[in-house]
Amino acid sequence: MKLKINFILKTGVQGEIPVLAVMNFGYKEFDALKQTYVYKPLRYYTGVKVKKSDWNEVEKLPTEKSKRAILLQINKKATLISVAFLIITLICFRLGLKQQVKS
């Protein structure tokens, strides 16, 4: 499981635009109507707002250093959380297998 985070500007807003962190890590949800699994990215409002003119489209980060640092810190923390979650999940899976083998 790999976490991928894209920062995007919210559309349809004038002036200072909120920055969204779209986190992609393989989250799927079962769609009862279609009877299939549908991919759902997690959208997180970062609390950072920038003007469209201060947004670097290539890097997908603000040009202002303080706001850029906040977004990079969010990226770092989210990555650490996803790694910790994966480790905990693997440990629980391993313990569950041991319980099944013993039974």
Overall domain count for the chain: 1
- Which residues span the domain enclosing 49? 4-102
Give the global pTM.
0.68
The per-residue pLDDT for range 44-87, each reduced to its tens digit, is 888 888 888 888 989 988 999 999 999 899 888 888 887 787 77
**Average pLDDT value for residue range 96-100:** 75
Provide the b/e sequence for 27-62 (b: ≥16 CB within 10 Å): eeeeeeeeeeeeeeeeeeebebbbeeeebeeeeebb
pLDDT tier for residue 10 given thresholds of 50, 70 and 90: confident
